[in-house]
Structure 1
């Protein structure tokens, strides 16, 4: 993956890390009590998974790509569902996440396409 793509990737996941870390700092452990416990656990886990995606994209690129894909696919689905059930305050964040997810999906596709070329 090109360095510029890794930098954009890292910035996106660092923003997620900061967002969830601030929620934990200001609201305490499992701060999303307005939603069912599985959502709360999922969003809290992103505090640790997002920086892991940053670390892995630089240290173990293939693992970082898979983790980033899993995080962004699940995050857009969870937050999209949350928006659909009436939490309108998720719209701005969901829009930004969807744009970042599109970048992650495209960068991952390019990563796997390049890896396939190298093996053939």
Structure 2
């Protein structure tokens, strides 16, 4: 393996580790909600599909973490899918139930952090997939 190839692999591993740490932080947050309110909480009356989606992230996020290291390309793809769907879904909920969205975004730093993570993942995914 060339030194350049080693550097690509190392950068890919570093990026996947950052993704994993962020997903583990999200996993922790989802499990705190489950511990506090239970698996069947409706998030104060929001649509059941939304509640199911948010609860499912307690399982999907750590599954993506495992994939990031065992099957890196599948893990990066799963990370992209999870964060893009989560951001789109959360913005839809904000627009539908908590308009105006821009004011609400100022009051919800977690959503801003998700958007930043999404931009980071989308901008670095190609490098994160480098295995050779």
| Band the TM-score falls in, shorter-chain normalisation | 0.7 to 0.9
Partner of 2:84: 73
Q: How many residues align?
A: 115
**Per-residue deviation, 1:111:** 4.0
Partner of 1:96: 113
The within-5 A match list for 1:7-46 is 7-31=17-41, 32-46=43-57
**Per-residue deviation, 1:70:** 0.7
Superposition CA RMSD, Å: 2.0
Partner of 1:60: 71
Higher relative contact order (CA 8 A, sep 6+): 2
Structure 1 stretches of at least 4 aligned residues deviating more than 4 Å after TM superposition:
none
Unaligned ranges ≥5, structure 1: none
Highest Rg: 1 or 2? 2
Unaligned ranges ≥5, structure 2: 1-10, 99-103
Q: Per-residue displacement from partner, 1:47-101 (whole Å, max 9, x unpaired)?
A: 0000011110011001101111110110000001111124337731110000011
TM-score by length of 1: 0.85
**Per-residue deviation, 1:3:** 2.3
